[in-house]
Homo-oligomer: A and B are copies of this chain.
Amino acid sequence: MNAAPPPSGSSPTLEDVARAAGVSRATVSRVINGIRNVDPAIQEAVRQAVAATGYVPNQAARSLVTRRAGVVALVVSGASGEEPGEPSPGQVFTDPFFGRVASGIIGFLRPRGIHPILMFADDAETRAQVLTYLRQGNADGALLVSTHAEDLLPRLLADAGLPAVLFARPAEPIPISYVDVEHRTGAKLAADHLVARGRRRVATITGPPNLPAAQARLAGFRDAMAVHGHPYIPCAEGNFTYHSGEAAMERLLAEHPGLDGVFAANDVMAQAALFVLRQHGLRVPEDVAVIGFDDSSVAAASRPALTTVRHPVEDMAAEMARLLLARVDQPERPATSIIFEPALVVRESA
């Protein structure tokens, strides 16, 4: 049973499908949108007609009446002001982190037929563009990844009442949804493990001090070590890059040659620490135990494989998308935040 092929040159419409199935446009629409109260036999006929005609819904026509774009904005949002030397939005991509966020978001959105529009916002003008874009209804909401705690965009979004979800808690309380991980708990897991492994001269490589997440990891680690009777923990500051991790590990070794355990605030720096320790002839984990943070792709690939704290970035990103869609469907929904629990992933390095 073959219906007429679609008229070449332009794609088939609901009308064509309706004609092919011998029903009305409305019925076809109901079937396509999965609305009940359609006779199973007719449903089947419609489905056949759809297949026969090669019909695909026209999103523009649909958006026009539903007032849903079927698109959300994925905003990489940067500096609050004009301080020079800050990473440009493009550089954000350098961190494995952004790829995980994007994967998590796309993984959730794609099955739902929704796609993220990539936008950068790093000054007043581009922030305004994001707002305008959303207000025009070009996108149904925004998923925000800030590179700075002082980012102004979250507040603007909240004030405008636009649906938005942040990755990571904003520096100041803002009525806006976000997802985050319990950084302190994660750091505590690392501390407990190091102590359980009998390490007594432990140091840490931290992230940038202006990043709340980095500070929480440091504070959590220090507090937990204090509980274990180690009130003083040497630390060296890094900025989450491999290079900074190497430098930090070198400094730590120079000042504390006898250390037997290191907690790095992310895996990339932990990997760098591994490299430096080996160069100094130290064995991991025999001489020095190393724990990272994130459980990013480099952790399992390191030699020795990195014991690390799992930061469920993909799950968190998917949750961002879920929260956003819920808010889009239900605009009066209050802001919600979801805090994920980290977990220790024990491999070889500690």
Contacts and interface: CB of A to CB of B under 8 A. Distances in A.
A330 interface: no
Given A56-B132, A136-B57, A99 B94 contact: yes
Contacts of A61: 60, 64
A128 interface: no
Interface string A63-96: 1100001110010000000000000111111111
- Number of copies of this protein chain within its complex: 2
A92 B106 CA distance: 15
A117 B120 contact: no
Contact of A129 (B60, B110, B118, B129): B110
Given A103-B88, A243-B271, A58 B118 contact: no
A197 to B, nearest CB: 26
Contacts of A117: 71, 115-118
A294 interface: no
Contacts of A135: 11, 56
Contact of A96 (B56, B89, B94): B94
B133 A115 contact: yes
Contacts of A16: none
A275 B246 contact: yes
A124 to B, nearest CB: 15
Q: Is the interface of A mostly helix, strand, loop or mixed?
A: helix
Contacts of A94: 93-96, 99, 297
A119 interface: yes
B99 A93 contact: yes
B106 A120 contact: yes
B93 A98 contact: yes
A8 interface: no
B115 A102 contact: no
A136 B63 CA distance: 13
A255 to B, nearest CB: 19
Interface in A101-148: 102-103, 106, 110, 115-120, 126, 129, 132-133, 135-138
B100 A56 contact: no
A33 interface: no
Contact of A74 (B70, B118, B129): B118
Contacts of A120: 102-103, 106
14 contacts: A56-B132, A60-B60, A63-B63, A74-B118, A89-B99, A90-B100, A91-B96, A93-B95, A93-B98, A93-B102, A106-B120, A110-B129, A115-B118, A117-B117
Interface of A: 11, 56-61, 63-64, 69-71, 74, 88-96, 98-100, 102-103, 106, 110, 115-120, 126, 129, 132-133, 135-138, 242-243, 246, 271, 275, 279, 297
Given A90-B100, A118-B118, 19 more contacts: A57-B136, A58-B136, A58-B137, A59-B136, A60-B60, A60-B61, A60-B69, A88-B103, A90-B99, A90-B102, A91-B96, A93-B94, A93-B96, A93-B98, A93-B102, A110-B129, A115-B117, A117-B118, A242-B243
